[in-house]
Amino acid sequence: MPESVPSSLIIDAFKEIFQSERRGVKRQDPLGWIISVPDTHQKSVLAALDKERSLRVLTCSTEDDANAVAAGLYMTGEPVVVIDFLKPGIEEFASLLPPFVGRALTQWAEKNGKLEAYSVGMHLKTSGVFGFLLMRSLAWLKPWRPNSYRFVEEQQLIERWLARVRAGAWEELVADLLATHYDPAYLRATSQNYLHYDDGMRISIERLDESGIRSAAAGLIRSAV
């Protein structure tokens, strides 16, 4: 099973990197700037960083914004280190395989609860030569991508959604988007970030209007008392 990395270890790694980059530089305060595009995977790290006085956090909305801010800091003489956090596993490996192989591997992993079992957490300093070349090597796979499992699956989904758009089948389109795209993504993120999610209470809401939500909230309150 994949294990979480304590936020303190990540912050210590940040400090070591910044200290290395700051050697011989007159300005030492702040020790470093962290430019973040936050998501649920970073919540504990960002909460811990709020308590750090030697590190400053700049929150951006998109990766493009983050790159622009990093460029601005670099122009003022600040050392810039770009680190990409990755966690490749069976899903990512299967996505590059031929469709019949990738599909079989993914189905086996889902059936046996192994989809996240072999994920490997890693961080790459992509502002360095090795990290940059390693990330760049992914771009060299571009000619193969149309033959890969993920590409074929994605194209089939997109064509199905476009067909429903052309037919004006909006209810079917929304239901399909939720079931095949949004729900699996949120469920995966929730399961990874909330350890007791499976133990939580499940409620059924008959109607998604104000009265239905009020009724569900009242039921939760009664069960908690």
d(CA 94, CA 102): 4
pTM of the model: 0.58
Nearest to 208 by CA among 178, 165, 168: 178
Tokens representing 191 are 């399961």
User: What type of residue sits at position 64?
Assistant: D
Mapping DSSP to helix (H, G, I), strand (E, B) and coil, where does residue 62 land?
coil
pLDDT category of residue 5 using cuts at 50, 70 and 90: low
Average pLDDT, the chain: 81
- pLDDT, residue 146, reads 92
Domain chopping of the chain, boundaries: 7-81, 90-194
Mapping DSSP to helix (H, G, I), strand (E, B) and coil, where does residue 36 land?
strand
Task: Specify whether the CB–CB gap between 128 and 137 falls below 8 A.
Answer: no
